[in-house]
Amino acid sequence: MRLAGAPQDVIDQVIKQNNGAPEIQPANLLITRLFFACATQWNYAGMSGSRTGLNYGAVDVRAAKIPEYQALDLDDQEWLWEGLQQMEAEALKVWQEKD
């Protein structure tokens, strides 16, 4: 929602209405599912163990096990990876702000 330019008060309202979880648009369900399925596939760096991004090789192996992903044509797979990268960038930004 933030990427789409939604004001923070609208984001807060949606989160409150959904018991702390924002609503996932149907077009983003597979992206979200893959993102959370790969929760253990982060690369880390430095003494602090900061996350630097997803391990795309491991993510690709995990994605191949999801039947809905296997059924996608190449253009739709590319769209899914773009969405996954957006989620990755936002997650990294949030973690960086917390550090």
Domain boundaries, the chain: 25-98
pLDDT for the residue numbered 20: 61
pLDDT for the residue numbered 49: 84
pLDDT for the residue numbered 89: 95
Instruction: Categorise residue 27: left if φ over 0, alpha if ψ from -120 to 50, beta otherwise.
Output: alpha
Residue 38 and residue 54 in contact, taking contact as beta carbons nearer than 8 Å: yes
Q: pLDDT tens digit string along 2-56?
A: 544 567 777 677 666 666 666 788 888 899 889 989 989 999 998 888 899 999 9
pLDDT for the residue numbered 98: 78
The enclosing H or E element of 16 equals helix 8-17
